[in-house]
Every structure is written in C-alpha cells, then in structure tokens.
Structure 1
Amino acid sequence: MRFVALAVVAGATLAAEPARAYVALMAGQTARPLQGRFNNVPVLHSNQPEEVLGPGILVSTAPGSALSAETNQPLANAAYTFNGEFGLHVHHKYNPQDASRMGYGGGRRGELTLATILINPGDYPVTLRFEQGAVRNSFEAPYLPNYLMGVKPLGPRPWNTGPGDATAIQMLRRQLDRRLTDAVVIPPRSRMVLFSTQLPAKGIANGLLRGRSDGPFQMAVVAAQDPRSDAEIVAVLDQGRLAPGRIYLDRLAEIQNRTVFSRVAGVSIGDGYQASLSHDMAQGPLHVPLTSTNRHNFGTGEIQVNPLASRMVDSSLDNVGTYGVRFDLDFALQGAGPHELVFSHPTANGRTFTAFRGSIGIETDEGYREVHVGMRSGESLPLTSLNLQPGQINRLKVSMVYPADATPGHLLSVVPSSQLAQLQQRQRQLEVARAEAAAARRARPAAAPPAIATGQEGGGAPRPAPAPAPRRAEVRPANGTPAAPAAPASRPVSRPRPPQLMPAWIQPLPPMPLINRSPGTADGVLTGAAPANLAPARMSQLLMERYQQAVDAQQVFMKGLMGR
C-alpha cells in the first residue's frame, strides 16, 4: 500500500499568513519566499523509531508486511522499487530494554548492529555505484556541544559534533568515505549487506549515501543483536518482526491530522533543493526562509518540505525534517558597503535548546569557505562579512546538507553590518540587566524575625510584650487525662516559582541603563539614572524595574507579531 502526502507539495507557497516565528533581526521587516524546487531523487529514510529498543526490522521497501512488537499486528512495508539515482538516510539510537546491556556498574555495554540490506528481486544482476556518503556513530564522532557553539572556520577535518554533522560534511563536500565501497553488484534473486555498524547502548548512528543503479532493487534497514555473520543479519529480515520502539502507533490519528510530527520511515522524493534570487539592498535587508515548515515560515507561507512516495503507517506524512537534503541557494545582490550574512533560528515560546550543529559552505566572488555553526534557539549568528561593491552584481552561494539532530525552520539574512551591531548591543544590554537583577536578588538579605521585647533596652522606653496567643480548649476524657492537642490543619506547601524570563529575540527594547562600577564598590551605578551614593536596596529596586520594563516591552511586541 502506498501513501502519498497530498497536503504538502514540494516548494509550495501557501496563502500569506502572519509570521509565526520570532527573530529579532527581522522585526519590522518582511521575508521573501525562495520559490525553489526539490529534485526527483528518491531517498529511503530510516529514522522511525528513532530510539531502537532491540533487534528487528526498522524499515523495508520490499512488498509485504512485518509484525509490530508493540501490537503483534502486521504493518505494511514502505514498498518502493529504486531504479537509477537514489539516496539513503539512516539515523537511530540504541536504548536497550534489557538493563543488563546498559553497562551499569562498570560492565561492558551491549551492542546492536545496524545494517542496510540490498534486495534484487529480478532475474538479472544489478550494479550500484556510490558517489558520496559516509556512516558514523557517536563514538567515532562524539558530541562536544559546549565547546563548539557559535561560528568557527571549518578545516579539512570535521569538528566532533555528532554523527549527523560528520556524515553531512562528507555530502557537502561530495566525498565518499574511504571505508565505503564505490560499487557493488547484487546477484539475481538475492540479498546482501551493504554496510553495518556496531552501536553500543546509548549510542547513535547516522548514515548518508547517494548513488545510482543500472536496474531495479529494494532496500531494508535492520537491527541485529550480536550477529556473527552477514547471514545472521539477513535472517532478521526473514523473521518478519519489526524492532521494538515504535512509540507513535497509538497516535496515528494525530499524525494524520498533523497535530503530531513523528519521525520518517519511508521514501521521500528529493535529496536536493535549489533556488536563485536577485535582490537590491537599497530596497531593504534580505530575509529568506531556509528549511521552513508550516510552523516556521516567517510570514512567507513557503513550506520547504518534500513529500513521501511511501511510508510506514507510524511515519510522518512528509519529510518534515529534511535530514540529508542538500540546499543550494544562489543570490545576486546589488548594494554597497559592509553587510553580514546571518543565520537565525526562531523562538516562539521562550524555550532554549540546541537548534543546529552543522556545517555551511559559502561562496562569493572572493572565494569559497566553510564554517561550523552551533546555534541555540532564538539566536542570530553572523556567518561571514560581505563587502558589496556598488554598480555590479555581487554573487553569493550558500550550501548546506541539513544534518540530523537539528530543528528545521531557519532564517537566512543579508543585512547591513550596522543593523546586526544594533541587535547585538540590545542583546548585551538585556543580558547585563538580567545578570544584575539576578545578582541583586541573590544579595538581598533575608528578613530577620521580629524581636520579642521583655523590658527596657539601652535605656529606651519599654516595649510592650506581645499579646499571648489564645489557648486551645483542652478536651479531657472521662479519666481526666488531657488529650493530645489537635493537629493543625494541613496546608499545601507553597514553592517559589522560578522567574519566567522572556528571551532576547524581540525588538524594540526600551533604553537600558549603562552600568558603571566604581573602584572599591560592590554595586554598580546607573549612569544618568541615580546618584553615586545610591543605596544597594534602592539600586536593586531600580534594576528590577528596568528589567521588568524590558520584559513588558518584549511581551507587548510579541503579542503584536502574533496578531493577538
């Protein structure tokens, strides 16, 4: 059975709607749709379930079905036959159900073998030639998220930011990893293992491949527990059981009405997206969506999501993550002077998370360079400076293979350098206000309990003693022994709620106070806002007032953007 996503068409532009994504860099400005197109290369995506709990089939494009470990009911395969150009994307984590395989107490962690199987259903041999790709796990390419945040030059050797980034770099550079073969032949009516990788408990594996065949074939991705040969890996396919971990089987209705996005298990159409755009900077800054979704398209209505030709029933309806898709954007810019190419991710609800860790290629008239980007939600990061020459077309090309473990819905901008500088200054001022307000709260002394006066102190007038608390009436039993006092009524414990801080991505902000520190003083002075001998308590109050003004202004502006 084949499922075709009818609701989303590649490169479709929906009716204009208010911006749902909030990026301070483009506040008061508009974004343009790219109006690009996906190619027609079919790609098998094996990403649902993302967390695999044990051995079994993950996805197969052969006709037929396999039994679900969760329901013991058959689920139809994502049937599809490849012939010609094709792609493969595999991304899974291993979280074993058996606690003994977790390696607790210093023991050896259990391993799960992740493998791709090629199937030739015909009577003639089929040759596959591979052009580019790589397979990595998180022990070959570990995560170092804190060290690699921000924008850094990318040299010949990739940074260690996980297997998704490591394989995407190979695809960005159109290279084939030397550990992979460049050609295989599938004999008639046979199956063979293309590659396998051992995945220890809590590990992650990612594979990206692009190739071409001279005949029809099918693919499957399986997980095998401690196999001793390729034959035992292929035997998993013959057992006809799906690997456990399919957590969306009880949410199929929500997948269908698009209130829930699961991962992808199926064949998407398109492994590349291309767009060309001309823009005169005299008309204003350039903002375009990149990997835009229905949720984050910056008011353009453009949905850069490619459809699925076949899917497992618990897969998302389309390739909403666009993992492994290559984006090539060509710009012809007119303008003059210093500008910045900026990459942003929105924040609509104040949550902070790592939204992107990957690599981007940038080509201008001055040459080609690559940068590694580690970005948190709500950030706008300058990728490179552009010195636009007047009276000519300034060429700019941006290329990216979207890595797994990133969150789609980005904004790409070309803005005057002064505009970015103003945004960065406002963000620094808000961060200073936050830090000073937090320090003031920590430094505020706790209120001392009132003293009980029993007479004259220091020769002063005597203080009246507090009135005694009313005594409870004693209830005595018949024998005259006082009963135990009644327990006070239980009251819910009130816990202080953490302050709900608004993010620094909404503009405009009110003018923020400049904090000067005088030598030998512990508190700053608000320049032009308070005298130098301002008391610490009053200082804390002013800081909190200024900070609250900034937060209030952000909330008002955000509601305006949301049309509330």
Structure 2
Amino acid sequence: MLPFFPVVTLAQAFPLPFPSPSQSLPRVNPQELVLPRESLPAQPTLPMQEIFQPQEIRPLPGQLDTVPVLNSNSPEVVQTDGILTSTFPPEGKTFPNAHLNYAFQGRFDIFSHHIARTRSGTPRTLFEAILLNNPTSKPVTIEILQGASYLTRPDASFIQLPAYVEDPLGTVYAGPGSRVMNDLLRGRRQGALPRMTVIQPGENQLLMNLPIPVNGSPGSNGRTTLMRLQSNGSVYGASLAMFAPLTEDGRERSPTLEEWQTLLVKGGLAGPRDLPPTPPNVNVFKVFYGRVSGVAIGSQWLSMVTDVPKGDRLTIPKKGRAFSYGLSTLYRGTFGTGQVQSAKLLARYPDTAYQAHGNYGIQYSLTMPLYNPTKQRQTVTLAIQTPLKEDKSKGGLLFYQPPENRVFFRGPVRLRYTDDTGITQTRFIHITQQRGEAGEPLLTLNLPGGDRRIVQVDLLYPPDSTPPQVLTVKTLEDIRDASR
C-alpha cells in the first residue's frame, strides 16, 4: 500500500501548497540548531526591569473535550531507529513495553513533533511513519478532516518576524509548528492528503512516510504533523522512526510498508530518551516536565467566557483596570488560579511526561460577549501576553522590560467580531512574543453605554512555544479611536 503523502527523493523539496513568507524578511538560524558558543555574535544587552501589573487573573471557563490524541513528541531529537509512540497491543511484540494498547474509534487526532540531528560524519536521512491498523473483521473507513505536515527546512524556517503580522492569506509563519497550526486554524487539509481511505480487516496502512532530511554536519531539521481524523471502527496507531535503507549501490531509499511492519513488531523505543519528568507533588525547586509520548485526552477547549456559568455577558473592567484568563496553564504555572489546563494522559511511557504539558495542537475556541455596564462609551482592548510563569497568586502579572530575548510564543490567532462601524470582521494575526512580554492589543473596541459586543478568539497552541500565556481584557482610562 502506498503512503498518502508522496515519498520524495532527497533532491526534491516537499511540495508547498501555499506561498512562502516574503524573502525580504531577515532569516535566523532554527532554534534547534546547535552552534558553538564562540561562533555566536556578541549581542548587546539591556538591563531588564521587572514590571508588576496589578490585576485579577481568572480560571478559564470551559474544559477540554474528550477526543483522544496520539501525541508523539518524545524523544524530541531522534537518533536511532525505533518506536516513537505505539498504541498497538503488546502481544506478539519483541518489546511489549513499547506498546500502549489503546484503540481509537470515532474522532481522534494524531500529533507529532520530532527533530533529526547529526553532529559529525555523513548525515543519514531519518524517515517518520504514521501507521494505522484495522484489528476488526470489517473494513474501517478513515476520514481525514484536516491535516498538515511540514519540515523546518525548506517548508517553514524560523524566520525573524515582527511581533504582530496581519495574515489574511495564511502565508506568514515561522517554524513548522507555526505553519501547521496556521493551516488547521483555517480548516485546511494539505493537498497530498486524501479526503478518506479504507483499511481492510487485519491490514496495516501507512498514513505518512516522510523524510526529515539534514544537510551537512553538524545540522538538524524538524517535522511537525497534526491530523484530525474520523473512523467508523477501531484502529490502532503508531508513530515510527527509521533511517533510510540503502540500495545495493549505496543510495538512500524510502522504507517500505513491510519494513515499517517489521520495525513495529521487532523494534524497541527510539532514542536517545529524553530527561524523565519530575514526579508530581514532589517538593523540589525546579520541575522537569518531560516530553509527551502517549494517548492524551482533548483536542479542543470550547468556552463561553462570561461573568457566571451559563451567563450571557462578560462585564468589562472598570476604567484603567484589567483582568486575564490563563492559556495553557500547567502544573506549577497556574498564576494562582489552581487551574491546570494540560491534557490528561490515558496511556504513557514511564520516562515521559505525566500530562500533555503545553497542549500542543489543541484548539482554544473562546467566545467573549463583552458588556459595558456604564452609561458612558468605554474603550476596551484585548491582548495575548506572556508574563513570567507563577503558580501562587501575587495579585497581578510580572513582566520584563525589555522582554528576555527568548521566543516563548509564535503562532496564529483568529479574531471574529463586529467593529465600531457595525461590520463583521475576521482577522488572522501571527504573534511572536518573548518571555516576559506584555505585548500590544490585538483588538481595540469602543463600546457605547449598555453595549454588548461578541468577540471570538481561536488559536491552536503551537509547538515551539513555551506556556503559559494569558488573554487580557483591559478598559482604558480615556476613550480612543479603534486602532485595530
């Protein structure tokens, strides 16, 4: 059975269904590229000041849905053949502990984020496969609702972008995680993916069989994949890694379905293994979250953000004040709300994360019916911010000025709202934020007294980002014209 994604030779570039970002933008090295310290140019440093903003931080209403996700992110850097994540049953396998024994049925997602890296010698091309199995006695139909898979190079290099870029066409991204989230936020299915496929009883089928090529040593490249699927029967799934087999004349070729099946049955977990996580509820200063490999529960966080549960309004703050809702809050990072939004894991490997920290690939769909309870016109702003991570309440948020030179969020956000002229707007904005960055408003609205205005915010939490962030509503001291 041929894979759905086309297998490409090493001289070819993976097809780009959409235009690349403008080449006039300055490019930077990918984050995962390891460079000797002495080769890095000296960077001017400015003294960072801590800026405390007193305001209320609220738990985000709503919760994750119950859609299961095959989440494959450990080991992040893959340097040996093996199993990345397998939900196949352990019976008949050489390494039964490499299989988590979970069957998907109905709606489920597959998320994968891995890096190939070489430090010396001639690089071998790493291939990644997504393999599905029908264990039943009837054919199973798989619908690919949405999906995309991109490499860092050549598909989505880590280019340097402004903090905010309007992106009506979906051509602005930095890194494969940013680009994949961009596609799915727009409801796209990458051109190489079929709308559906049928797996016959007892058969395995490749959903993906794609390279992660590395040019030169040292060097690295990454691939991010996210698919939203629907099945009418039970299926097992696995994310697998294999270096390209060689032909008789020493050239690399794509692995076959039979070779992937052999790896699934006889192979162990791929390596090197990531640093194991700190056990929960252990009183230590520094927590290692670990990387995720297993079956997580939750594809979307759907929320009506109102004053009270089942309410119909979100009362804006008083003049000069603000309140925030956590986004992707996690263990030891709840801003005093006690709310851990990280997806729970139904199955995991002992040396991987206890929860799906970061909620990579999870969609936040938030509806905010902003309400002005006063008789005067009020100017309200909406912003995504990246404050310093805190777990206990300090009565506000802590930022750096200037922000630390470490990107903590890069990805697209969709806004839907009615502007001050009564026109319904849909805007896509790519955001790049550094650690401790308070940011600028994504949206400014002038609300007449008694007005109720619905704003919808959607984002898929992007890989290559570091949680948590907050969504902040602020009422300005003075009325201003809407600038966004």
TM-score by length of 2: 0.74
Tell me the distance in 2 between the aligned counterparts of 1:294 and 1:122: 39
Cα deviations by residue, 1:109-153 (Å, 9 ceiling, x for unpaired): x3111110011112211110011111111114333442x130110
Tell me the distance in 2 between the aligned counterparts of 1:307 and 1:129: 25
Aligned to 2:126: 112
Deviation at 1:419, TM superposition (A): 8.9
Contact 1:362/1:397 (<8 A) preserved: yes
2:460 is aligned, of 393, 401, 412, to 401
Contact 1:66/1:242 (<8 A) preserved: no
Q: Does 1:100 align with 2:127?
A: no
CA RMSD in angstroms, aligned pairs only: 2.5
**Change in 2 beyond 3 A, CA 1:195/1:282:** closer
2:185 is aligned, of 151, 172, 181, to 172
Pairing 1:102-501 to 2, within 5 Å after superposition: 102=123, 110-146=124-160, 148-201=161-214, 202-226=220-244, 227-248=254-275, 251=276, 254-255=278-279, 259-278=287-306, 279-283=314-318, 284-335=321-372, 336-347=377-388, 352-366=405-419, 367-381=425-439, 382-418=441-477
Aligned to 2:83: 57
State the AA in 2 paired with 1:416: T
Q: Classify the secondary structure of the residue corresponding to 1:44.
A: strand
Q: Does 1:30 align with 2:48?
A: no
Tell me the distance in 2 between the aligned counterparts of 1:142 and 1:413: 29
Cα deviations by residue, 1:152-202 (Å, 9 ceiling, x for unpaired): 101213323011011111211122111111111111111111112210131
Tell me the distance in 2 between the aligned counterparts of 1:40 and 1:324: 15
Contact 1:94/1:112 (<8 A) preserved: yes
Cα deviations by residue, 1:297-322 (Å, 9 ceiling, x for unpaired): 22222221121111112221111110
State the AA in 2 paired with 1:211: L
Q: Does 1:41 align with 2:40?
A: no
Deviation at 1:228, TM superposition (A): 4.3
* Count of aligned residue pairs for this structure pair: 383
**Which ranges of structure 2 fall in alignment gaps of 5 or more residues?**
1-48, 215-219, 245-253, 307-313, 390-397, 420-424
State the AA in 1 paired with 2:115: K
Tell me the distance in 1 between the aligned counterparts of 2:479 and 2:451: 24
Cα deviations by residue, 1:84-124 (Å, 9 ceiling, x for unpaired): 11101000001247x3234xxxxxxx311111001111221
Identity of aligned residues (%): 28
**Change in 2 beyond 3 A, CA 1:395/1:121:** same
Tell me the distance in 2 between the aligned counterparts of 1:52 and 1:39: 31
State the AA in 2 paired with 1:323: Y
Contact 1:293/1:302 (<8 A) preserved: yes
Cα deviations by residue, 1:220-264 (Å, 9 ceiling, x for unpaired): 01112113433223332132222121133xx46x34556321111
**Change in 2 beyond 3 A, CA 1:256/1:66:** farther
Contact 2:129/2:241 (<8 A) preserved: yes
Deviation at 1:295, TM superposition (A): 2.6
State the AA in 2 paired with 1:380: A
Q: Classify the secondary structure of the residue corresponding to 1:385.
A: strand
State the AA in 2 paired with 1:310: A
Aligned to 2:45: none
Deviation at 1:23, TM superposition (A): 8.7
Contact 2:152/2:158 (<8 A) preserved: no
Tell me the distance in 2 between the aligned counterparts of 1:164 and 1:391: 41
Tell me the distance in 2 between the aligned counterparts of 1:158 and 1:23: 35
**Change in 2 beyond 3 A, CA 1:23/1:391:** farther
Tell me the distance in 2 between the aligned counterparts of 1:274 and 1:141: 31
Tell me the distance in 1 between the aligned counterparts of 2:432 and 2:363: 18
Tell me the distance in 1 between the aligned counterparts of 2:210 and 2:295: 22
Q: Classify the secondary structure of the residue corresponding to 1:394.
A: strand
Q: Classify the secondary structure of the residue corresponding to 1:273.
A: strand
Structure holding more strand per residue: 2
**Which ranges of structure 1 fall in alignment gaps of 5 or more residues?**
1-21, 103-109, 422-564
